[in-house]
A = this chain, B = another copy of it.
Amino acid sequence: MPVTSQPLGRRERNKQEKLDRITAAASELFAKYGVQDVTTQQIADKADIGTGTLFLYAKTKGELLLLVQNAHYADALERGRADAETIPDALDAVMAIVRPIVECNRIQIDNGRFYLREMVFGDPTEPHHSVALSIVGQTEEAIAAILDRKELAGEFHAAMTARIVSAIMFVSMAASVNAGLDIEALVTDIRTQISLLIPR
């Protein structure tokens, strides 16, 4: 056992460093060219690792996108959560959660839609996928918390309503019909739908 302050062996450090290189390479290439126009070979080359190695760190190309994007969505959620606390109106507060996530999703439309696709249709037992699902869960909890804040009419189910909001967001962001909408139009569209859910 080395006396250094590093509690990690060379093995762990190498692995971490490799994961970092992969994340950086994928992040850069995806942002520049879009997921669909980047090959896993290019990512492996840029990260300076073998083809097979890449798939030890992310079992599919989709997982690779989740690995790269999850952190951004988690940030967006955190910002929205903080913002929402300062807003009294329920609908406005919910939209404060929604907006940053839509913005994050729309930085690059194709990547955003691919991310959503992977979330719903990818393998939920993969690690990056379950992180993504957990972010969705936290988003729904944050929305439910807002709805609970105002004690609304007797039998109002905050958690269930939050699930519906989540479904509305997903379909609105993913639908090819909406692929042409800019962020503002999309947010407005989502707001209109959610307004039907929240009694005033």
Contacts and interface: CB of A to CB of B under 8 A. Distances in A.
A125 to B, nearest CB: 9
B164 A197 contact: yes
B121 A117 contact: yes
Contact of A121 (B113, B124, B161, B166): B113
A175 interface: yes
A161 B196 CA distance: 7
Interface string A144-176: 000000000000010011011011101110111
Interface in A27-48: none
A166 to B, nearest CB: 8
Interface in A180-200: 192-193, 196-197
Q: Which of A113, A157, A163 has the most CB of B within 10 A?
A: A163
Nearest to A194: B164
Contacts of A177: 124, 133
Nearest to A174: B120
A174 B171 CA distance: 11
B160 A196 contact: yes
A139 to B, nearest CB: 14
Nearest to A170: B171
Q: Which of A120, A124, A174, A196 has the most CB of B within 10 A?
A: A120
Contact of A167 (B113, B120, B157, B168): B168
11 contacts: A117-B117, A117-B121, A160-B192, A164-B167, A164-B168, A164-B193, A164-B196, A166-B171, A167-B172, A170-B171, A196-B197
Given A121-B176, A124-B176, 8 more contacts: A117-B121, A124-B177, A161-B196, A164-B193, A164-B196, A170-B171, A171-B171, A196-B197
